Amino acid sequence: MIGWTLRRLTQSFLVVLLMTLVVFVGLNAIGNPMDILVGEDLNQAERLQAIAHLGLDKPLWEQYLIFLKGAVHGNLGQSFVYHEDAMRLILQRLPATFELAFCALFLAVVIGVPLGMFAGTYPDHPLSRMMMAASIVGFSLPAFWVALMMIMLFSIKLGWLPASGRGETRELFGVQWSWLTLDGLQHLLLPALNLALFKISLVLRLTRAGVREVLPQEFVKFARAKGLSPMRVMCMHVMRNTMIPVVTVLAMELGSTIAYAVVTESIFSWPGAGKLILDSINMLDRPVVVAYLMVVVVIFVVLNLIVDGLYYLLDPRVRVEGSR
Partner 1 sequence: MNAASKPVPSHVGLQAQSPWRRVVLEFISSPTAVVGLLVLVLIMLVAVLAPWIVVQNPYDLMQLNVLDARLAPGSANMDSGYTYWLGTDGQGRDLVSAILYGLRISLWVGIGSALIAAVIGTLVGLVSAYVGGWLDALLMRLVDLLLSFPVILMALMILAWLGKGVGNVMLTLILLEWAYYARTARGQALTESRREYVDAARGQGIGPWRIVVGHILPNCLPPLIVIGALQIARAITLEATLSFLGLGVPVTEPSLGLLIANGFQYMLSNEYWISLFPGLALLITIVAINLVGDRLRDVLNPRLLR
Cα separation, 144 vs 142, in Å, equals: 6
For residue 97, count other CB atoms closer than 10 A to its CB: 26
State the minimum distance, in angstroms, from the CB of residue 78 to partner 1.
18
Q: Is 37 in the site for partner 1 (CB under 8 A)?
A: no
Cα separation, 121 vs 118, in Å, equals: 5
Return the residue of 148, 172, 182, 314 that touches partner 1, per CB under 8 A: 148
Binding mask 268-297 for partner 1 (x = CB under 8 A): ---------xx--xx------x---x--xx
Q: Is 263 in the site for partner 1 (CB under 8 A)?
A: yes
Q: Is 23 in the site for partner 1 (CB under 8 A)?
A: yes
State the minimum distance, in angstroms, from the CB of residue 135 to partner 1.
12
Q: Which is nearer to partner 1, 199 or 237 (CB)?
A: 199
- In the chain, % helix, strand, coil (3-state, to 5) comes to 75, 0, 20
Nearest alpha carbon to residue 270 among 174, 199, 202, 193: 193
Q: Which is nearer to partner 1, 190 or 238 (CB)?
A: 190
The residue type of 169 is T
Cα separation, 267 vs 147, in Å, equals: 7
Return the residue of 139, 160, 219, 222 that touches partner 1, per CB under 8 A: 139
Q: Is 136 in the site for partner 1 (CB under 8 A)?
A: yes
Cα separation, 213 vs 131, in Å, equals: 19
State the minimum distance, in angstroms, from the CB of residue 180 to partner 1.
28
The piece of 16-24, 123-131, 203-211, 237-245 that touches partner 1 (CB under 8 A) is: 16-24
Q: Which is nearer to partner 1, 116 or 138 (CB)?
A: 138
Q: Are 210 and 241 in contact (CB under 8 A)?
A: yes
Q: Is 76 in the site for partner 1 (CB under 8 A)?
A: no
Q: Are 162 and 187 in contact (CB under 8 A)?
A: yes
Phi, psi of 177 (to 5 degrees): -125, 145
State the minimum distance, in angstroms, from the CB of residue 91 to partner 1.
18
Q: Are 57 and 48 in contact (CB under 8 A)?
A: yes
Number of residues that bind partner 1 (CB under 8 A): 41
The piece of 24-32, 71-79, 89-97, 236-244 that touches partner 1 (CB under 8 A) is: 24-32
CA distances from 266 to 65, 105, 275, 285 (A): 33, 19, 5, 17
Q: Is 267 in the site for partner 1 (CB under 8 A)?
A: yes
Return the residue of 48, 110, 137, 235 that touches partner 1, per CB under 8 A: 137
SS3 of residue 56 by DSSP: coil
Distance of CA 308 to the CA centre of its chain: 18
Where does this chain bind partner 1 (CB under 8 A)? Answer: 15, 18, 22-23, 26-27, 29-31, 136-137, 139-145, 148-149, 151-152, 156, 255-256, 259-260, 262-263, 266-267, 277-278, 281-282, 289, 293, 296-297, 300, 304
